[in-house]
Amino acid sequence: MRRSATLWVQLVFLAVFLVTAIWVAFLRPADESAPARAAGGDAKARCEARGDWWDEQDKVCAVPMPITTLTRRPAAGR
């Protein structure tokens, strides 16, 4: 009696694992948190028009940050 109960518990865990693995691999909805990509030249032009930096390798618009913001020290000329 005890041996068959252990077998059933193993089969239940195996079934749960297989269902979860299939869901993760195939049925998971697409990640909607990623921003929609605009046309390459269009995004670069908008980024540079705002005065930000365009990273060509990663296709990311970055905001320049002065080093004084990170170190919290006053600028040398001030």
Three-state DSSP class for residue 34:
coil
pTM of the model: 0.37
Reported as a pLDDT band with limits 50, 70 and 90, residue 20 is: very high
CA–CA distance, 12 with 65 (Å, rounded to integer): 54
Question: Is the model's pLDDT at 78 over the cut of 80?
Answer: no
Mean pLDDT across 67-78 = 79
pLDDT, one tens digit per residue, over 8-17 is: 999 999 999 9
Reported as a pLDDT band with limits 50, 70 and 90, residue 26 is: confident
Residue 57's Cα: distance from chain center in Å? 17
Mean pLDDT across 51-58 = 90
